[in-house]
Amino acid sequence: MPETFSSIAVLIDAENVSHTFLEDISEKIALYGAVSVRRIYADWTSEKMKGWRALLQEFAIQPIQQFSNTVGKNSTDSALIIDAMDLLYLQHIDCFCIVSSDSDFTRLASRIREQGKHVIGIGEKKTPSSFVNACNEFLHIEPHNARRHDDRRAAEKLNKTEILLERAVDQLADSSGWVMLSQLMQYIRQVKPDFDLRGELGVRKPLDYFTSRKEKYRVQKEREDAPSAIFISKVR
């Protein structure tokens, strides 16, 4: 489980990252704590941004308009950098998440770190090492991850929430394969604020769901190191 933060600013370079990565990006960031600021930068008059525009309201991301002044040049860099510096000095942000594969943000990441803040970069494998190394952590996203969104839609027999729960157990489990149920549900609600146990899983309590899926999950109660907690792991 990674270090968590009380206030995270997520700044997305939409002209450099495909909208098909957004679900994976959101799930990765949720592991680190509460997101206070969600901003995305692009020339929203461009037809290329159609895919992103369809997702802005669903994921509650604030679009920042930046007109393209030069053909072929990413116009969002300066706007994102200026906003990041404003947030650095004017708001109590513990962690900055810069979503881009552009090396132009190398100096920004270094400057934020100089102020004692944590910087997480998210981008593709093609991201230059200068930007990768300027961050405290860099999380890679790849095309096969982006296609998972379509794969999930095709799996009509699987409830989307069940898929999210299964992935969450995999990501949050400790070295022995167990994750605390309360920690798991906190993460789920960060990823999916409108999570509805009864409507989506047909149960009243999270424990009811896991105990009913004995073919997939194990439940452990009253561990010596946490006597009042409940732990979940996948059947191997």
Tokens of 8: 């995270």
Tens digit of pLDDT for each residue in 183-226?
898 888 888 877 778 778 888 888 999 999 999 999 998 777 77
* CB-neighbour burial class of residue 198 (10 A; exposed 0-12, middle 13-18, buried 19+): exposed
pTM score above 0.85: no
What pLDDT score does 97 carry?
A: 97
Helix (H, G, I), strand (E, B) or coil at 63: strand
Average pLDDT, the chain: 85
Can you give the C-alpha Rg of the chain in angstroms?
Answer: 19
For residue 129, pLDDT over 80 is answered with yes
Proportion of the chain above pLDDT 70, given as a percent? 88
| Phi/psi at 176 (5° precision) | -90, 0
Cα separation, 233 vs 140, whole angstroms: 26
What pLDDT score does 92 carry?
A: 87
What pLDDT score does 161 carry?
A: 83
Which of 36-40, 67-71, 200-204, 227-231 is the most confident on average?
36-40
What pLDDT score does 169 carry?
A: 93
Report the pLDDT averaged over residues 21-45: 90
In this structure, are residues 84 and 96 in contact, taking their beta carbons and an 8 Å threshold? yes
**β-strand pairing of 178-180 with 137-140:** unpaired
Tens digit of pLDDT for each residue in 131-172?
999 999 999 887 644 445 445 444 443 477 888 899 899 989
What's the Cα-to-Cα distance from 169 to each of 2, 33, 200, 234, 235, rounded to whole Å?
A: 14, 16, 18, 7, 11
In this structure, are residues 64 and 40 in contact, taking their beta carbons and an 8 Å threshold? yes
β-sheet bridge partners, residue 45: none
Please report the domains of the chain, with CATH numbers, ordered by start residue: 5-148 (3.40.50.1010), 156-234 (3.30.420.610)
What pLDDT score does 144 carry?
A: 46
Q: If you search the block for the tokens 């881009």, which residue do you land on?
A: 100
What pLDDT score does 1 carry?
A: 58
Write the CB contacts of 33 (distance below 8 Å, at least 6 apart in sequence): 4, 5, 6, 7, 8, 94, 95, 190
In this structure, are residues 18 and 146 in contact, taking their beta carbons and an 8 Å threshold? yes
For residue 107, pLDDT over 70 is answered with yes
Cα separation, 56 vs 63, whole angstroms: 7
Helix axes 181-191, 160-172, angle to 10 degrees: 130
Closest CA to 167 of 148, 154, 150: 148
For residue 81, pLDDT over 50 is answered with yes
